[in-house]
Structure 1
Amino acid sequence: MNISQIVRKLAEFLDRKDSTREILVQNARDIIRHSKDALKHMYLGNMSESRAVLEKMRKLCAELKSLVKEYPDLLYGGLMVNALTEYIEAEIVYSILTRGIDIPAPEDLDVDPVPYVLGLADALSELRRFILEYLRRGDVESAEKLLNCMEEIFLEISTLQYPEGLLPGFRRKCDIIRRLIDETKSDIIFVKTRRK
């Protein structure tokens, strides 16, 4: 095979890969947008609407995985991992709000461990917003239940001590969650003492 044939084959491969990447980028953006919508519905108490958005996200994630079969390296680019992390975060927050600590495992969501761990950490940070809303409404009991759930999950995931290359951003997320848990405890104590 001469060099022009080699380059032509390379260009054909890269053209196909680039077309796939463009579709992945759009799907990833849609997943991230839907994640915000799902969480918004949860804040408003519209759990059935949130579930419908999560189902759309699940389908988009399945499309992502099927699209990358020929080019698996594309799945681990920054935007793709971010999209999967957002999806996992929304699924876990929904699960905690509807079922408590009984959260889906990575295989239940058909996702890889790394975005799952990152999404789980993000979900814990997101729970603080729900806790603050409960406190605003005077529902200290629900706030404490969520805080207990947040702490229990955090104690488990904080044992995952791996290098930045394996779990990018995870240590920083854990530091933030630890601070949020402490702040949330203070908020709950403040509300309880104010009520007396």
Structure 2
Amino acid sequence: MSLDRTEASLDKIIKPLSDEIESREFLIKNTRDVISMCSRAIIAVHAGDTVSAAAKAKEAAKLLRSHKKRAAGGLRRYLAVPEQELVEALSLIAIVGGRPVPSRESLGVSGPSYVLGLLDCIGELKRLAYDRIRAGDAAGAQDAFRTMEGLYNMLYPFAAFDKVIKEARRKLDVARILIEDTRAAVTEEARRAELLHALRGLRSMGAGDGI
């Protein structure tokens, strides 16, 4: 009995499997750079350096596009996290700049990555709202809160697809808590601002009456 044909068949199987392993290792290693750049872009946004943030996010998007060539078939899953990070960073940059949040099509990411990236952006908007409260920008904090709430309301229906979009329900639960925390902080700041305004009015009246 000859096994020549069997050996030849097995040899043909090894090559694509080896290529897949090589591509997998490449994606795991190189998509870390995309994630890192997106993280630095978000840090730059909170530091007030939107120019640097936009440059870092642009470079991350360029890298991600080049890596997609190696992500055929099942390897596509290794792009999920970097895509989410890119959506989060570019959405935050757009919101801070007063521009519309980019569409999924313009970013070239998968549907699940777009949904999860927007959910992650809600956390960054909470941080933005608190930063604005500390800076005395109550109106800016309210704008950030309204955007958080708007995103949440649009994304909430995706809780029904948790079996398909992994982590969607958990991230929605986290987002709801963040929104309630921010609502309380923004409301407290608005009341404080009203009280200060009233006190200034009383002082002005007192000064006018010669008190």
The alignment's TM-score, normalised by the length of structure 1, stands at 0.92
Separation of aligned partners in 2, 1:139 and 1:14: 56
Answer whether contact 2:35 2:82 (CA < 8 A) is retained. yes
Deviations 1:128-160 (A, max 9, x none): 011110001110100001111111121111122
Q: Which residue of 1 aligns with 2:7?
A: 4
Q: Which residue of 2 aligns with 1:86?
A: 85
Matches within 5 A, 1:47-86: 47-68=50-71, 71-77=72-78, 80-86=79-85
Structure number with larger C-alpha Rg: 2
Percent of paired sites with the same residue: 25
Query: 1:133 is matched with which residue: 124, 131, 134?
Result: 131
Secondary structure of 2:158's aligned partner: coil
Query: 1:177 is matched with which residue: 175, 178, 183?
Result: 175
Count of residue pairs brought into register by the alignment? 191
Cα deviation for residue 96 of structure 1 reads 0.9
Compute the RMSD of aligned alpha carbons.
1.4
Moved over 4 A (4+): none
With over 3 angstroms needed to count, the CA separation of the structure-2 counterparts of 1:90 and 1:15, relative to structure 1, is same
Which ranges in structure 1 are unaligned for 5 or more consecutive residues? none
Q: Which residue of 2 aligns with 1:97?
A: 96
- Greater relative contact order, per chain length (Cα 8 Å cut-off, separation 6+): 1
Separation of aligned partners in 2, 1:90 and 1:114: 16
Deviations 1:20-74 (A, max 9, x none): 1122112211111111100111011111111110111111111122222xx3210
